[in-house]
């Protein structure tokens, strides 16, 4: 069965030498990968990001021919996992699958987080979050402009917010239009859905899970720079004259200094998810649009969105520098 | 109903049933091992769900949830090391029973209460999911806030020998729960620059340290006494100590019914959770009892109250999930992921689009209840032998499991430090006779109370008069005031207890039960 080729022999010798020195799988980038890969997820098991991560890991493991172990490492919205990645060996065997918001907006919001896009390498992006504002189907407004008119006539209405960004949107809109809105703090997406379905709040910030309730809820605005696949008729917040669109995408994040061939290899495997039927089935059921970016596109998106979000936060007075 | 029959036909297929049984068994064993529990089981099983069919995967996950809720009573009763906070009340009376040589009786009662609570609550889910969930939506933050406030008064009933110490422990619990990101201004409170503390102190490692490791430390200091006592416990000397007697059944059935009701209601409501269910049920049973001072010394009703509510929460916390697509618990969130994994969207549409799958899941849940009874009954005989093993063999094993359990949820060594920190606090709480149960109540309820209070302020538009639009909230405020007044007048359960509890033999050596 086995024919000894020069190349095979070289591999054998190289592996032997490396093995002798004691490096397990830190072989040459050209051989990558030779062993199992650890994929950290910065949220707990059971969330949307975890779900996409596991589906992605399955496709990529098939492409790369090695197992990919998904490890949940929740904490501070993914900042704990990102810190681990920043310290990990840049050999391509440890990576983080997470929303890029941990790098392009968390540093402006959390005191302890100071990442910049330069602190990591990116092997691509695969899905986008359909962040938006949602309300009950029978509310008499369908856009932000109509909401502003309604809120002027109904002072003291409630808005559900589960993150600093969520508060930023409503404070900016309220400031510009002189609205009187009560901001109700919410802890999680399911609390947000509870508040909407139970008619507790008139409007709420949603990370996209409100699309699961097409009979009860509707989208008022897309808080992204693109219109949502699940609601193509709803204008973005930028189209309505507020330059506040902030995009977040699930991104493969690797330690600084990971060799480019490894990033390309991972990006190639990630691309397979774009057309994978099972992956599509899962993301479709969860209303998550697939938007693949390769290494270069992901790098550009990271830097652009970081600069843009920084501008938005500065104008809103959240950060000074 | 005909759907349910088809569901049973699907589930009673060996290929499906075996996964349900695997889930229940795994959950029960993990729950029975101190330190491990749901979190561990789910972590082990999520990758598996990718490869199973939807019914098998969902059946297995639900089996784990049910199994671990019932199994956690085993370590609570035998070793006084509840694996999860929701079993802490079980240990209060279960462990004294075990030290009296009635371990098998307590284990059996715990299991029966669990299975009954579980089965009835599952029936509630099947029959009433849709209308109940709609009604539960009317319970908003304002109502939740007052319900939590009312629950806090149970500290008075559970604070042990000294009300003051109970209140101090409760306040400490609230204090530790304030650590982390504040929910309105997103300021980090007392995190000392540690990223790991941004989300607050995680319940699982805290509870493992406080309840299990600290208990092991206390027992380690008492090895000789406990071991010589253990040698004298001739388990099952008389049949009356091994089985649940008819008279005990008569006393416990109303308790189980109340526990099931409380557990089911707590499960449906958002943001309360299993611990609140078992605390409330235990507290209510004690309040209703004619001899509240005997609780904590080995009352079989205490075990029945805590366990029935603990397990009843599991199915009913799935009601918001099935009816509305809202996860009411950690397990429910994982189940949503499992649904989506198989291309299904959880929520009301599921009933129209996938009636057969819903029926299958319901049938799987009922089967899981029955399997739980079989697995638990068989497993107990084995687990009950633990009580005869010398502590020097038990303690290292328990410590290992606790460390693994603390690590599992966050995959982070920091959780082990959290566990050790609370071990120290738990150790001194036991030595100085501060109730760790009221600490837990404070820890679990405190942050939810704060959040719902902040939410209420906004929802009421900062005007107290708007409370009139929330009659349920007003009722609970009045109830709270009435109970505080009642306790304050010295007629509360804690008052009569100052004279009690010291006389019992097992209590003397283990001054841990509040």
pLDDT digits (tens, 9 = 90+) for B445-459: 888 899 999 999 999
d(CA A240, CA A223): 11
Q: Are strands A157-161 and A120-128 parallel, antiparallel or unpaired?
A: unpaired
Amino acid B253: pLDDT: 93
Mean pLDDT of B281-305: 89
CB-closest option in B138, B333, B340 to A286: B340
Q: Which residues of B235-257 are buried (b: 16+ CB within 10 A; e: fewer)?
A: bbeeeebbebeeebeeebeebbe
Q: Does the beta-carbon distance from B455 to A54 stay under 8 Å? A: no
d(CA A33, CA A6): 21
Residue A46 near residue A67, CB atoms below 8 Å: no
Q: The domain at A32-128+247-315 falls in which architecture? A: 3-Layer(aba) Sandwich (3.40)
3-state SS track over chain A = CCCCCHHHHHHHHHHHHHHHHCCCCCCCHHHCCCCCEEEEECCCCCCHHHHHHHHHHHHHHHHHCCCEEEEECCCHHHHHHHHHHHHCCCCCCEEEEEECHHHHCHHHHCCCCCCCHHHEEEEEEEEECCCEEEEECCCCCCCHHHHHHHHHHCCCEEEEECCHHHHHHHHHHHHHHCCCEEEEECCCHHHHHHHHHCCCCCEEEECCHHHHCCCCEEEEEECCCCCCCCCCCCCECCCCCCCCCCCCEEEEEEECCCCHHHHHHHHHHHHHHHHCHHHHHHHHHCCCCEEEECHHHHHHHHHHHHHHHHHHHHHCCCCCC
pLDDT digits (tens, 9 = 90+) for B84-122: 788 889 999 999 998 888 888 999 999 999 999 999 999
CB-closest option in A45, A79, A284 to B195: A79
| Residue B69 domain boundaries | 2-509
What are the pLDDT tens digits along chain A (321 aa)? 444 454 544 554 444 444 444 444 444 567 889 999 999 999 887 778 988 999 999 999 999 999 999 998 888 889 999 999 999 999 999 999 999 999 999 999 887 888 999 999 999 999 999 999 999 999 999 999 999 999 999 999 999 999 889 999 999 999 999 999 999 999 888 889 889 988 999 999 999 989 988 888 999 999 999 999 999 999 999 999 999 999 999 999 999 999 999 999 999 999 999 999 999 988 988 889 999 999 999 999 999 999 999 999 998 887 765
Q: Is the predicted pLDDT of residue B378 greater than 80, yes or no?
A: yes
Strand order in the sheet with A203-206: A181-185, A157-161, A203-206, A132-136, A217-222
Q: For residue B105, give the nearest of B250, B267, B241 by alpha carbon.
A: B241
pLDDT digits (tens, 9 = 90+) for B62-75: 899 899 989 989 99
Q: How many CA atoms lie within 13 A of B53 on its CB side?
A: 14
Confidence of residue B414 (pLDDT cuts 50, 70, 90): very high
Q: Which residue of A has its CA nearest to B457?
A: A184
Amino acid B246: pLDDT: 87
- Please name every residue paired with B85 in a beta bridge, in sequence order, or none if there are none: none
Q: Flag whether B514 is in a domain.
A: no
Q: Does the beta-carbon distance from A80 to B412 stay under 8 Å? A: yes
Q: Is the predicted pLDDT of residue B504 greater than 50, yes or no?
A: no
Amino acid B503: pLDDT: 37
d(CA B63, CA B361): 11
pLDDT digits (tens, 9 = 90+) for B200-255: 898 889 989 998 999 999 999 888 888 887 777 665 567 777 788 888 899 999 99
- Secondary structure (3-state) at B159: coil
Q: The domain at A132-222 falls in which architecture? A: 3-Layer(aba) Sandwich (3.40)
Higher pLDDT, B132 or B218: B218
For residue B487, the tally of other CB atoms under 10 A from its CB is: 19
B412 touches chain A (CB under 8 A): yes
Every domain of chain A and the residues it spans: 32-128+247-315, 132-222
Higher pLDDT, B494 or A223: A223
Q: How far is A321 from chain B (nearest CA, A)?
A: 19
Amino acid B233: pLDDT: 67
Instruction: Dihedral sign for Cα B412, B402, B188, A181, please.
Output: positive
Surface of A (188-247) touching B: CB under 8 A:
190-191, 193-195, 197-201, 212-215
Torsion of CA B314, B315, B317, B320, to 10 degrees: 160
Amino acid A157: pLDDT: 94
* DSSP secondary structure string for all residues of B247-284: HHHHHHHHHHHHHHHHHHHHHHSTT--HHHHHHHHHHH
- Secondary structure (3-state) at B420: helix
A76 touches chain B (CB under 8 A): yes
Q: Is the predicted pLDDT of residue B494 greater than 60, yes or no?
A: no
Which residues of chain A does B50 touch, with a Cβ-Cβ cutoff of 8 Å?
54, 58
Residue with tokens 């100590």: B241
Amino acid A31: pLDDT: 84
Q: Flag whether B430 is in a domain.
A: yes
CB-closest option in A46, A75, A214 to B336: A46
pLDDT digits (tens, 9 = 90+) for B156-203: 667 777 888 988 999 999 999 999 888 888 888 888 888 889 888 988
Q: How far is A80 from chain B (nearest CA, A)?
A: 6
Mean pLDDT of B462-488: 89
Q: What is the mean pLDDT of chain B?
A: 84
Residue A13 near residue A43, CB atoms below 8 Å: no
Q: Flag whether B29 is in a domain.
A: yes
Amino acid B457: pLDDT: 94
Amino acid B286: pLDDT: 87
CB-closest option in B199, B324, B346 to A76: B199
Q: Write the DSSP symbol of residue B347.
A: S
B15 touches chain A (CB under 8 A): no
Total CB pairs under 8 A between chain A and B? 139
Q: For residue B441, give the nearest of B86, B68, B71 by alpha carbon.
A: B86
What is the count of structural domains for chain B? 1
- Please name every residue paired with A98 in a beta bridge, in sequence order, or none if there are none: A251
Amino acid A316: pLDDT: 87
For residue A22, the tally of other CB atoms under 10 A from its CB is: 7
d(CA B22, CA B26): 6
Q: What is the value of ipTM here, to two decimals?
A: 0.81
d(CA B237, CA A219): 68
């Amino acid at each position: 069965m086995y024919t000894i080729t020069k190349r095979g022999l070289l591999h054998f010798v190289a592996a032997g030498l490396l093995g002798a020195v004691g490096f397990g799988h830190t072989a040459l980038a050209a051989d990558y990968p030779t062993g199992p890969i650890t994929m950290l997820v910065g949220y707990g098991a059971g969330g949307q990001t975890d779900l996409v991560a596991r589906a992605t890991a399955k496709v990529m493991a098939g492409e790369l021919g090695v197992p990919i172990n998904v490890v949940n490492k929740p904490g501070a919205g993914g900042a704990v996992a990102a810190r681990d990645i920043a310290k990990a060996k840049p050999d391509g065997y440890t990576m983080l699958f997470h929303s890029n918001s941990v790098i392009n907006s968390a540093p402006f919001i959390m005191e302890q987080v100071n990442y910049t896009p330069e602190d990591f390498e990116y092997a691509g992006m695969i899905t986008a979050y359909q962040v938006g504002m949602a309300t009950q189907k029978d509310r008499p407004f369908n856009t932000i402009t109509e909401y502003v008119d309604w809120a002027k006539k109904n002072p003291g209405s409630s808005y559900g917010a589960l993150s600093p960004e969520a508060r930023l949107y409503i404070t900016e809109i309220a400031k510009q239009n002189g609205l009187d809105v009560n901001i109700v703090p919410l802890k999680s997406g399911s609390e947000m859905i509870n508040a909407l379905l139970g008619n507790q709040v008139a409007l709420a910030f949603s990370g996209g899970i409100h699309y699961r309730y097409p009979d009860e809820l509707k989208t008022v605005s897309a808080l992204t720079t693109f219109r949502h696949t699940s609601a193509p008729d709803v204008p973005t917040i930028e189209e309505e004259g507020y330059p506040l669109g902030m995009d977040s995408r699930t991104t493969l994040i690797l330690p600084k200094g990971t060799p480019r061939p490894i990033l390309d290899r991972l990006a190639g495997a990630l691309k397979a998810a774009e057309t994978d039927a099972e992956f599509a089935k899962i993301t479709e059921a969860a209303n998550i649009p697939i938007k693949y970016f390769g290494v270069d596109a992901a790098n550009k998106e990271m830097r652009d969105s970081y600069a843009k979000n920084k501008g938005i936060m500065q104008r809103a007075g959240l950060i000074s520098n | 109903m005909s759907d349910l029959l088809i569901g049973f036909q699907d589930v009673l297929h060996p290929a499906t049933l075996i996964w349900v049984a695997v889930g229940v068994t795994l959950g029960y064993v993990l729950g029975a091992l101190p330190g491990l529990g749901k979190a561990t089981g789910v972590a082990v099983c999520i990758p598996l769900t990718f490869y199973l069919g939807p019914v098998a995967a969902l059946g297995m996950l639900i089996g784990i949830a049910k199994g671990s809720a019932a199994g956690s009573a085993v370590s609570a009763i035998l070793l006084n090391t509840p694996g999860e906070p929701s079993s802490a009340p079980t240990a209060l009376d279960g462990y004294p029973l075990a030290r009296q040589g009635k371990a098998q009786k307590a284990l059996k009662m715990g299991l029966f209460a669990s299975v009954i609570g579980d089965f009835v609550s599952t029936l509630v889910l099947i029959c009433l999911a849709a209308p109940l969930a709609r009604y539960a939506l009317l319970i908003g933050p304002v109502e939740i806030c007052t319900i939590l406030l009312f629950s806090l008064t149970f500290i008075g009933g559970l604070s042990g020998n000294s009300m003051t110490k109970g209140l101090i422990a409760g306040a400490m619990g609230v204090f530790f729960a304030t650590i982390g990101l504040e929910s309105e201004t997103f300021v980090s409170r007392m995190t000392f620059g540690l990223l790991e503390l941004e989300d607050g102190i995680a319940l699982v490692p805290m509870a493992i340290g406080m309840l299990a490791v600290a208990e092991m430390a206390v027992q380690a200091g008492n090895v000789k006494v406990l071991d010589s006592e253990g040698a004298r416990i001739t388990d099952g000397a008389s049949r009356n100590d091994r089985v649940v007697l008819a008279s005990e059944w008569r006393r416990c059935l109303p308790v189980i019914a109340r526990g099931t009701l409380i557990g089911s209601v707590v499960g449906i409501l958002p943001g309360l959770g299993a611990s609140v269910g078992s605390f409330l049920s235990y507290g209510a049973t004690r309040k209703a009892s004619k001899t509240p001072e005997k609780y904590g010394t080995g009352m079989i009703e205490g075990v029945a109250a805590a366990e029935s509510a603990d397990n009843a929460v599991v199915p009913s916390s799935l009601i918001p999930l099935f009816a509305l697509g809202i996860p009411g618990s950690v397990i429910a969130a994982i189940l949503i992921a499992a649904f989506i994994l198989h291309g299904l969207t959880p929520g009301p549409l599921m009933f129209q689009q996938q009636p057969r799958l819903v029926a299958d899941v319901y049938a799987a849940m009922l089967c899981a209840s029955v399997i739980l009874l079989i697995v638990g009954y068989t497993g107990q005989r084995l687990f009950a032998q633990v009580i005869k093993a010398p502590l020097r063999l038990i303690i290292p094993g328990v410590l290992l499991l606790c460390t693994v359990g603390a690590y599992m949820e966050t995959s982070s060594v920091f959780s082990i430090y959290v566990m050790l920190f609370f071990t120290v606090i738990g150790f001194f709480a036991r030595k100085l006779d501060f109730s760790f149960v009221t600490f837990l109540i404070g820890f679990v309820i405190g942050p939810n109370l704060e959040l719902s209070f902040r939410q209420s302020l906004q929802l009421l538009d900062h005007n107290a008069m708007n409370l009139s639009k929330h009659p349920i909230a007003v009722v609970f405020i009045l109830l709270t005031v009435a109970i505080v007044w009642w306790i304050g007048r010295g007629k509360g359960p804690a008052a009569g207890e100052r004279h009690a509890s010291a006389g019992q033999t097992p209590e003397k050596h283990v001054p841990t039960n509040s």
